[in-house]
């Protein structure tokens, strides 16, 4: 049956023009050779398009949450009160998502942006609660070391060709180190002597696990068969 080249409508009369767009009909074989300009591209979305779509959806959700929070607080309290905490957190969350969507592959932008946004969030939350107190210690050093360790893990992940157990091991090592840092600066913030207890246990437990993962990864890379290795 003839098909209109321009709109894809089937035409019963071979000689009659298309009743929709008034163009002359063509056969099925010819329509395949002529791309219909009215049909949309139904190819799957690329990763970049998916990320962009996710960011746009996140923008709508964050903006909606922001407006609703402000309106509820103004209606109930006649002025911003508790909504200041929510507004600051929502704004920081939007910046985090933006950084993850567009700059995570560019560490020289992602890490400073992450650090500045985190500091801004912490200092604002501290200001809302009787001025700047816990932001200086432990907030500032803990944020700085977190961003530093995250940057080292991401750099290692981007530089290594074979990704597997080694990435899990690197993350585990970073967690163990960060536990030591947390206990140290929390003790300093409380004006207590630094005595590593639970963090030392966590770090000492993670270290053998990480070394085992590194061993498995780089032995497997050389073609080691685990069944033969364990004599199974």
- Note whether 70 and 87 are within 8 A (CB): yes
80, β-bridge pairs: none
Domain span including residue 185: 160-232
Domain membership of residue 56 (yes or no) is no
Handedness of CA 74, 76, 82, 86 (dihedral sign): negative
The per-residue pLDDT for range 21-64, each reduced to its tens digit, is: 777 655 444 444 444 444 455 678 889 999 999 999 999 999 99
Q: Is residue 193 in a domain?
A: yes
Question: Quick check: is 78 in a domain?
Answer: no
The answer to whether position 80 is within a domain reads no
- pLDDT tens digits along 139-184: 999 999 999 999 999 999 999 888 888 999 999 999 999 999 999 9
How many whole angstroms separate alpha carbon 74 and alpha carbon 173?
A: 47
Residue 89 is assigned to a structural domain of this protein: no
Q: Write down the pLDDT at residue 109.
A: 96
Residue 182: which of 222, 221, 132, 145 has the closest Cα?
Answer: 145
Residue 212: pLDDT band (50, 70, 90) is very high
Whether residue 146 is contained in a domain is answered as no
Dihedral pair phi/psi, residue 26, rounded to 5°: -135, 165
Q: Which residue has the tokens 């609703």?
A: 68
Q: Which residue has the higher pLDDT, 129 or 32?
A: 129
| End residue of a domain, out of 42, 59, 75 | 42
- Please check whether residue 3 is in contact with residue 33, taking contact to mean a CB–CB distance below 8 angstroms: no
Number of domains in the chain: 2
pLDDT of residue 34: 47
Q: For residue 42, what pLDDT is reported?
A: 60
């Amino acid at each position: 049956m003839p098909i209109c080249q321009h709109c894809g409508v089937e035409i019963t009369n071979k000689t009659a023009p298309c009743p929709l767009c008034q163009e002359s009909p063509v056969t099925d074989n010819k329509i395949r050779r002529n791309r219909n300009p009215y049909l949309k591209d139904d190819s799957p979305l690329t990763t970049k398009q998916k990320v962009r779509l996710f960011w746009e959806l996140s923008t709508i959700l964050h903006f909606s949450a922001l407006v609703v929070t402000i309106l509820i607080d103004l209606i109930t309290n006649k002025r911003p009160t508790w909504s200041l905490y929510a507004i600051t957190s929502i704004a920081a969350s939007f910046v985090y998502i933006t950084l993850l969507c567009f700059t995570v592959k560019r560490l020289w932008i992602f890490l400073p942006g992450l650090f500045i946004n985190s500091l801004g969030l912490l200092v604002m939350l501290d200001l809302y609660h009787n001025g700047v107190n816990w932001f200086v210690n432990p907030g500032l050093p803990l944020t700085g070391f977190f961003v530093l360790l995250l940057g080292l893990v991401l750099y290692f992940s981007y530089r290594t060709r074979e990704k597997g157990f080694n990435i899990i091991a690197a993350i585990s090592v970073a967690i163990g180190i960060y536990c030591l840092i947390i206990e140290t600066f929390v003790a300093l913030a409380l004006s207590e002597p630094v005595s590593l207890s639970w963090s030392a246990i966590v770090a000492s437990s993670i270290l053998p696990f990480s070394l085992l993962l590194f061993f498995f990864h780089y032995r497997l890379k050389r073609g080691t068969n685990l069944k033969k290795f364990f004599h199974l």
